[in-house]
Amino acid sequence: MPELYNFLDVSESPRRAGFVVLLGGGHLNRVRKAAVLYHQGYASRVVVSGGPLYKYGIACSTGQLALDDLEKIGLPTEATPRCDEATSTWDEAQRLLLVLRQQGAKSALLVTDPEHTRRARATYRRLQGDWDIELTFVGAEPEFQADTWWRSEKGLVAVQNE
């Protein structure tokens, strides 16, 4: 069973980049990982993404909630352009690649859940086309033990969703 999780997790080690991109959804561990990368100097700018929560009766987006969390742990507001209208990984990739292109990005660290890295990487690479930007997919700490994911409800849901 660990092999299935290991197949999904294609996380890469972080390297210096122009941007840290916090992908929408997930949990607070993504926010923490993005903040750590920023504070350790891997990138000088952060892009925060996330989808709208209006259908749940909440008048903001997951991106705004993540931005609020990042600000609480010391990320400067001017470092965080937002992209918070995405409704799927595909839609988010289209929007974020446009934002990165408009910002003149040459490289970016994309932070997501480890089990989401394979699908995210495939999506971004397909949409990236021949644009020469170096994308590195960095996995945040999972909310469950990766080697026993099937023993946790969160692990079962996460792997099944992928």
User: Is 117 a domain residue?
Assistant: no
pTM: 0.90
User: Is 127 a domain residue?
Assistant: yes
The helix (H) or strand (E) run that includes residue 99 is helix 89-102
pLDDT of amino acid 15? 97
User: Is 113 a domain residue?
Assistant: no
User: Is 64 a domain residue?
Assistant: yes
User: Is 12 a domain residue?
Assistant: no
CATH code assigned at 22: 3.40.50.620
User: Is 112 a domain residue?
Assistant: no
How many domains are there within the chain? Answer: 1
* Rounded-to-integer distance, Cα 66 and Cα 85, Å: 14
Render each residue's pLDDT in the chain as its tens digit; 162 residues.
889 999 999 999 999 999 999 998 877 898 889 999 999 999 999 988 877 777 677 777 777 777 777 778 777 766 677 777 788 899 999 999 999 999 999 999 999 999 999 999 999 999 998 889 999 999 999 999 999 999 999 999 999 999
Domain of residue 73 covers 17-49+56-105+123-147
User: Is 35 a domain residue?
Assistant: yes
Instruction: Determine contact, residues 136/15, Cβ cutoff 8 Å.
Output: yes
What is the side-by-side strand order in the sheet with 82-83? 82-83, 45-49, 19-22, 107-112, 134-139
* Rounded-to-integer distance, Cα 119 and Cα 20, Å: 18
User: Is 9 a domain residue?
Assistant: no
The two three-digit tokens of residue 23, written as one number: 């992908």
